[in-house]
Amino acid sequence: MYSIGHPDPGTPIRISTERVTLMIDGVSVNVPKGTSVMRAAAKAGVNVPKLCATDSIEAFGSCRLCLVQIEGRRGYPASCTTLVEPGMKVTTQSGKLAQLRRGVMELYISDHPLDCLTCPANGNCELQEMAGQVGLREVRYGYAGENHLEAKKDESNPYFTFDPSKCIVCSRCVRACEETQGTFALTVLGRGFDSKIAAGNTDFLSSECVSCGACVQACPTSTLMEKSIEERGQPDHVVATTCAYCGVGCSFLAEMKGNEVVRMVPDKAGGANHGHSCVKGRFAWGYATHKDRITKPMIREKISDPWREVSWDEAIGFAATKLRAIQAKYGPASIGAITSSRCTNEETFLVQKLVRAVFGNNNVDTCARVCHSPTGYGLKTTLGESAGTQNFDSVDQTDVMIVIGANPTDAHPVFASRMKKRLREGAGLIVIDPRKTDLVRQPHVAAQYHLQLRPGTNVAVINSLAHVIVTEGMLREQYIADRCDLVEYEKWKAFIASAENSPEAMEAVTGVPAATIRGAARLYGQARNGAIYYGLGVTEHSQGSTMVMGIANLAMATGNIGREGVGVNPLRGQNNVQGACDMGSFPHELPGYRHVSDPAVRTLFGDAWGVTILAEPGLRIPNMFDAALDGSFKGLYVQGEDIAQSDPDTHHVLKALSSMECVIVQDLFLIETAKYAHVFFPGATFLEKDGTFTNAERRINRVRKVMPPVCGLADWEITVRLAEEMGVPMQYDHPSQIMDEIAKLTPTFHGVSYEKLDRLGSIQWPCNDAAPEGTPTMHEQQFVRGKGRFVITRYVATTERTNRDYPMILTTGRILSQYNVGAQTRRTKNTTWHAEDLLELHPHDAEFRGIVDGDLVAVTSRAGETVLRAKITERMQPGVVYTTFHYPESGANVVTTENSDWATNCPEYKVTAVQVRKTNQRSAWQYEFDENLQEQVSLLPGGDAAE
Residue 411 to residue 572: CA distance in whole angstroms: 9
Select 17 or 201, whichever has its Cβ closest to ligand SF4: 201
8 Å CB contact between 842 and 876: yes
Residue 117 to residue 294: CA distance in whole angstroms: 40
Select 63 or 484, whichever has its Cβ closest to ligand FES: 63
Q: Which of residues 165-184 bind ligand SF4 (CB under 6 A)?
A: 167-173, 176-177, 181, 183
Candidate residues 1, 57, 68, 78; the one interacting with ligand FES per rule CB under 6 A: 78
Q: Counting contacts by CB under 6 A, is residue 103 touching ligand FES?
A: no
CB of 163 to ligand SF4, least distance (A): 9
Q: Counting contacts by CB under 6 A, is residue 80 touching ligand FES?
A: yes
CB of 134 to ligand FES, least distance (A): 12
Q: Decide which of ligand SF4, ligand FES, none touches 66; Cβ closer than 5 to 8 Å per partner kind.
A: ligand FES
Select 224 or 427, whichever has its Cβ closest to ligand FES: 224
DSSP alpha helix (H) spans, 670-808: 715-725, 735-745, 754-760
Q: Which of residues 691-710 bind ligand FES (CB under 6 A)?
A: none
Select 47 or 156, whichever has its Cβ closest to ligand FES: 47
Q: Counting contacts by CB under 6 A, is residue 566 touching ligand SF4?
A: no
CB of 141 to ligand SF4, least distance (A): 19
3-state secondary structure 487-551: HHHHHHHHHHHCHHHCHHHHHHHHCCCHHHHHHHHHHHHCCCCEEEEECHHHHCCCCHHHHHHHH
CB of 76 to ligand FES, least distance (A): 11
Q: Counting contacts by CB under 6 A, is residue 886 touching ligand SF4?
A: no
Q: Counting contacts by CB under 6 A, is residue 710 touching ligand SF4?
A: no
Select 36 or 915, whichever has its Cβ closest to ligand FES: 36
Q: Decide which of ligand SF4, ligand FES, none touches 51; Cβ closer than 5 to 8 Å per partner kind.
A: ligand FES
Select 66 or 198, whichever has its Cβ closest to ligand FES: 66
Q: Counting contacts by CB under 6 A, is residue 219 touching ligand FES?
A: no
Residue 110 to residue 872: CA distance in whole angstroms: 51
Residue 51 to residue 38: CA distance in whole angstroms: 12
Amino acid at 941: P
Select 395 or 512, whichever has its Cβ closest to ligand SF4: 395
Residue 114: CB atoms within 10 A of its CB come to 12
Select 177 or 315, whichever has its Cβ closest to ligand SF4: 177
Residue 813 to residue 822: CA distance in whole angstroms: 13
Residue 478 to residue 484: CA distance in whole angstroms: 10
Select 133 or 782, whichever has its Cβ closest to ligand SF4: 133
Q: Counting contacts by CB under 6 A, is residue 280 touching ligand SF4?
A: yes
Give the three-class secondary structure for 745.
helix
Q: Counting contacts by CB under 6 A, is residue 430 touching ligand FES?
A: no
> Which stretch, 278-286, 450-458, 666-674, 711-719, contacts ligand SF4 (CB under 6 A)?
278-286
CB of 92 to ligand FES, least distance (A): 12
Residue 586 to residue 583: CA distance in whole angstroms: 9
Q: Decide which of ligand SF4, ligand FES, none touches 580; Cβ closer than 5 to 8 Å per partner kind.
A: none
Instruction: Compute how many residues bind ligand SF4; rule: CB under 6 A.
Output: 41
Select 64 or 196, whichever has its Cβ closest to ligand FES: 64
CB of 935 to ligand SF4, least distance (A): 34
DSSP 32: E
DSSP assignments along 589-648, one per residue:
EETTTEETT-HHHHHHHHHHHTS---SS----HHHHHHHHHTTS--EEEEES--HHHHSS
Select 63 or 131, whichever has its Cβ closest to ligand FES: 63
**Residue 766: cis peptide before it, omega within 30 degrees of 0:** yes
* Best CA proximity match to 801, nearest among 512, 452, 461, 509: 509
Q: Decide which of ligand SF4, ligand FES, none touches 65; Cβ closer than 5 to 8 Å per partner kind.
A: ligand FES
Alpha-carbon dihedral angle through residues 246, 251, 257, 262, given to the nearest 10 degrees: -50
Binding mask 403-442 for ligand SF4 (x = CB under 6 A): ----------xx----------------------------
Residue 872 to residue 891: CA distance in whole angstroms: 20
Q: How far are the Cα atoms of 809, 859, 864, 913 from residue 806, in angstroms, in the given order? A: 8, 10, 12, 5
DSSP alpha helix (H) spans, 112-263: 126-134, 172-175, 214-218, 227-232
Select 168 or 294, whichever has its Cβ closest to ligand SF4: 168
Give the three-class secondary structure for 924.
helix
Beta-bridge partners for 22: 29
* Best CA proximity match to 257, nearest among 279, 283, 228: 228
Select 193 or 848, whichever has its Cβ closest to ligand FES: 193
Binding mask 30-69 for ligand FES (x = CB under 6 A): --------------------xxxx-------xxxxxx---
Residue 561 to residue 916: CA distance in whole angstroms: 43
Q: Decide which of ligand FES, ligand SF4, none touches 556; Cβ closer than 5 to 8 Å per partner kind.
A: none
Q: Counting contacts by CB under 6 A, is residue 80 touching ligand SF4?
A: no
Q: Counting contacts by CB under 6 A, is residue 223 touching ligand SF4?
A: yes
* Best CA proximity match to 687, nearest among 674, 669, 668: 668
CB of 170 to ligand FES, least distance (A): 7
8 Å CB contact between 28 and 19: no
8 Å CB contact between 352 and 591: yes
Q: Counting contacts by CB under 6 A, is residue 130 touching ligand FES?
A: no
> Which stretch, 211-219, 525-533, 659-667, 874-882, contacts ligand SF4 (CB under 6 A)?
211-219
Residue 588 to residue 602: CA distance in whole angstroms: 12
Candidate residues 59, 70, 215, 656; the one interacting with ligand SF4 per rule CB under 6 A: 215
Q: Which of residues 344-403 bind ligand FES (CB under 6 A)?
A: none
Residue 747 to residue 766: CA distance in whole angstroms: 8
8 Å CB contact between 429 and 440: no
DSSP assignments along 438-491, one per residue:
GGGEETTEE-SEEE-PPTT-HHHHHHHHHHHHHHTT---HHHHHHHB-HHHHHH
Instruction: Compute how many residues bind ligand FES; rule: CB under 6 A.
Output: 12
8 Å CB contact between 387 and 593: no
Candidate residues 10, 249, 378, 537; the one interacting with ligand SF4 per rule CB under 6 A: 249
Candidate residues 22, 31, 90, 248; the one interacting with ligand SF4 per rule CB under 6 A: 248
Q: Counting contacts by CB under 6 A, is residue 677 touching ligand FES?
A: no
CB of 53 to ligand FES, least distance (A): 4
Q: Counting contacts by CB under 6 A, is residue 395 touching ligand SF4?
A: no
Whose CB is nearest to ligand SF4? 281
* Best CA proximity match to 775, nearest among 746, 751, 745, 740: 751
Candidate residues 105, 186, 403, 663; the one interacting with ligand SF4 per rule CB under 6 A: 186
Q: Counting contacts by CB under 6 A, is residue 77 touching ligand FES?
A: no
Q: Decide which of ligand SF4, ligand FES, none touches 78; Cβ closer than 5 to 8 Å per partner kind.
A: ligand FES
DSSP assignments along 331-392, one per residue:
-GGGEEEEE-TTS-HHHHHHHHHIIIIII-S--EEEGGGGTTHHHHHHHHHHTSSSS-S--G
Residue 386 to residue 384: CA distance in whole angstroms: 7
Q: Counting contacts by CB under 6 A, is residue 687 touching ligand SF4?
A: no
Contacts to ligand SF4 by CB under 6 A: 167-173, 176-177, 181, 183, 185-186, 197, 199, 209-215, 218-221, 223-224, 243, 245-246, 248-250, 273, 277-278, 280-281, 413-414
Contacts to ligand FES by CB under 6 A: 50-53, 61-66, 78, 80
